[in-house]
Amino acid sequence: MILQIWQSYRRLPVWVQLWVAVILVPVNAASLAFVVQPGGAWLAVMAVGAMLCNAALMLIERGFSKAMALPHVVIWTPMLGLVIWLLGQETAPGFRRYLLILLAVDTVSLVLDYIDGWRWLRGERAVA
């Protein structure tokens, strides 16, 4: 099963593989470093929670599909509202820098996720 997931990942376009491995996962996982900040625990639950939902989808589908956009859309859309709200509060400088990076990365991700989610809902259910 793990081999099938890996092979599916490797069938994705190279830019998607790099986006996921070098930017998306590390930036969202970094939320765990800020759980002690005000709102940081909620942020980590939402940032990592969407990724854990995708891990479950990968196991069920034995690979990557457009269905993986749906947890991002459902969880990260309100999370970005939290990020914007936190940016309006007094926060530690390191946390503020992280919030700006997270906002930029997950905004780009959500644009792609809304497109993929729509495509999945319209019937594009293939696993890479």
Q: What is the pLDDT of residues 2-38, one digit of tens each?
A: 999 999 999 999 999 999 999 999 999 999 999 999 9
- Tell me whether residue 127 is in a domain: no
- Tell me whether residue 12 is in a domain: yes
Q: What is the mean pLDDT of the chain?
A: 97
What is the domain count for the chain?
1
pLDDT band at 43 (very low <50, low <70, confident <90, very high): very high
How high is the pLDDT of residue 38?
96
* Structure tokens given for 117: 């989610």
- Tell me whether residue 117 is in a domain: yes
Burial of 73 (0-12, 13-18, 19+ CB in 10 A): middle
pLDDT band at 54 (very low <50, low <70, confident <90, very high): very high
* % of the chain surpassing 70 pLDDT: 100
Residue among 10, 26, 11, 128 at smallest CA distance from 68: 128
Domain housing 82: 2-121
- Tell me whether residue 128 is in a domain: no
- Tell me whether residue 29 is in a domain: yes
This prediction's pTM: 0.94
- Tell me whether residue 24 is in a domain: yes
